[in-house]
Amino acid sequence: MKITVIGTGYVGLVTGTCLAETGNDVTCVDCDRKKIDILNRGHIPIYEPGLGELVARNVAGGRLRFTTDLASSVQKARMVFLAVGTPPSTEGSADLSALWAVLDQVAPHLADDCIVVCKSTVPVGTNAKIAARLKEAAGREVDVASNPEFLKEGVAIDDFMKPDRVVVGARRESVINAMSELYRPYLRTGKPFLAMSPESAEMTKYVANALLSTKISFINEVANLCERSGADVNDVRHGIGHDRRLGFAFLFPGVGYGGSCFPKDVRALAALARDLGIEPRILEAVHEVNEHQKTVLVDKIERHFAGKLADKAIAVWGLAFKPATDDIREAPALVLINRLLELRATVRVYDPEAIENVRGVYGNRLVYCQKRDDALLGVDALAICTEWKQFVHPDFDEMRRLMRRPIIFDGRNIYDPLRMERYGFTYYSIGRPPLLAEGGA
């Protein structure tokens, strides 16, 4: 099948590449010529494990290509996937301006039997607006399907190739059948293809992300209660996670969620509720708790040093909002860095993939380290913001030798406090009592 994917961000590039992997003829389009040039040179503009190899294989096989020529790329396409960005507006609702601009450009060039598939995360009711806009621009009815993505950065290839479910919203059975056939190779293990109305499909995406965000904010608020009451959130997490009604997923306390989806989608769903005359009390609380949680680690640092950080050097391990990505959008590490800079601390940073993205934000205001342990040289404390695997088993004796003071502020609870005690570290984590080394470091 000939398919065009418009937008080569995380969703578009992964979608186009995975569709090519099952034999489809895929053209990925983007208005960013620099990004297309990078792809045509055989490089990947984002970090996503396994994506580079998959792109190279499908380009070599002639099933995948990249272009800025929007008009010609859609003329013979059986399906056109919309994967353009829908960032939050100032009031939190989704900004659809890029989506409307793309639709106006493609409408005159769509084939008669083309199905337009919306992968972008959009407010409920957008499918109907897309159909109406295309009818006006093209002078005829155009089939429009809603097909929300559920990709997790860092494991996006597996999520697409082996999905938990595929959700498609459409009004005509022929569209449902075409989408079912397209996704058949990915559902061979019996995972469901869920056909529903476009409005239900659009709502499903927002509700899924909002509920996952709620679990994170909930356990983070519980972690703060545990600290004040003397409980250990890790024990509590085990105590509730074994309840089959609750489970362990997304019940890991930390310094808050970030990325391109959860923060944006929680705010967008809350904005929709307000538009419909409903006060989104839970959604607003989820967002507020998360914004506060991003400040917890720096609050611990300030308290420990009595606010006197002007002559202190702090190492930050982990800059991306989660492991296995270079994405720093709304990353908790940036909140920490901003505050440390305000307090005139020297900040030494390390991340396996996100260094250059952070450099683009902060320029020469930070010390950028190419190796994990280089960030520790002469620092007064280490703050951990992302749970990269390479941080789990460092040489603690070597860490003590490199650091001026053996103090760790662990924003992801990756270390065992008893182990930290044996190595003589002052250790702060999330939702657990602090461990002060002899003399308080």
Question: What does the pLDDT read at residue 441?
Answer: 58
| 93 & 108 share domain | yes
In this structure, the answer to whether residues 336 and 273 fall within a common structural domain is no
pLDDT for res 439 = 55
Domain assignment present for 301: yes
Domains contained in the chain, number = 3
Distances (CA, A) of 315 to 197, 345, 385: 50, 10, 11
- pTM > 0.75: yes or no: yes
Neighbours of 422 (CB within 10 A): 10
Catalytic site includes residue 226:
no
Query: Cα(32)–Cα(41) distance, rounded to whole angstroms?
Result: 15
239 found inside a domain: yes
Task: Give residues with Cβ within 8 angstroms of 150, minimum separation 6.
Answer: 159, 163, 164, 165, 167, 205, 208
Distance CA 115, CA 80 (A): 6
Out of 274, 293, 312, a domain closes at: 293
Residue numbers of the domain that contains 348: 296-440
Of the candidates 28, 226, 261, 385, the residue annotated as catalytic is 261
Q: Which residues contact 97 (CB under 8 A, 6 or more apart)?
A: none
Residues 216, 186: one domain? no
Total residues found in the chain within this entry? 441
What per-residue confidence (pLDDT) applies to 421? 94
What's the CATH number where 383 sits?
3.40.50.720
Rounded CA separation 294/224 (Å): 12
9 CB-near residues (< 8 Å, 6+ apart): 46, 83, 85
**Residues 159 and 287 both lie in one domain:** no
- Which of 141, 175, 196 is the last residue before a domain boundary? 196
pLDDT at 175: 98
Is there a single domain that holds both residue 275 and residue 304?
A: no
The token pair at 29 is: 């389009």
CA distances from residue 281 to 91, 122, 194, 214, 261 in whole angstroms, order as listed:
16, 21, 30, 12, 20
pLDDT in tens, the chain (441 residues): 999 999 999 999 999 999 999 999 999 999 999 999 999 999 999 999 999 999 999 999 999 999 999 999 999 999 999 999 998 887 888 899 999 999 999 999 999 999 999 999 999 999 999 999 999 988 899 999 999 999 999 999 999 999 999 999 999 999 999 999 999 999 999 999 999 999 999 999 999 999 999 999 999 999 999 999 999 999 999 999 999 999 998 889 999 999 989 999 999 999 999 999 999 999 999 999 999 999 999 999 999 999 999 999 999 999 999 999 999 999 999 999 999 999 999 999 999 999 999 999 999 999 999 999 999 999 999 999 999 999 999 999 999 999 999 999 999 999 999 999 999 999 999 999 999 886 555
- Judge whether 265 lies within some domain: yes
Mark whether 359 and 435 lie in a shared domain.
Answer: yes
What pLDDT, on the 0 to 100 scale, is given for residue 438?
66
The answer to whether position 201 is within a domain reads: no
> At which of 293, 321, 353 does a domain end?
293
pLDDT for res 238: 94
Residue 178 and residue 242 in one domain: no
Q: Are residues 31 and 75 in the same domain?
A: yes
- Tell me how far the alpha carbon of residue 306 is from its chain's centroid: 34
Q: What CATH number does residue 247 fall under?
A: 1.10.1040.10
Residue 37 within a domain: yes
Are 36 and 143 found together in one domain?
yes
Is the same domain home to 388 and 412? yes
Residue 376 counted as domain residue? yes
Same domain, residue pair 379 and 312: yes
Residue 98 lies in a domain: yes
**Same-domain pairing of 216 and 308:** no
Cα distance between residue 70 and residue 4, in whole Å = 9
Q: Is residue 62 situated within a structural domain?
A: yes
Show contacts of 131-135: CB within 8 Å, 24+ apart.
133/100, 133/103, 133/104, 133/107, 134/103, 134/107, 134/110
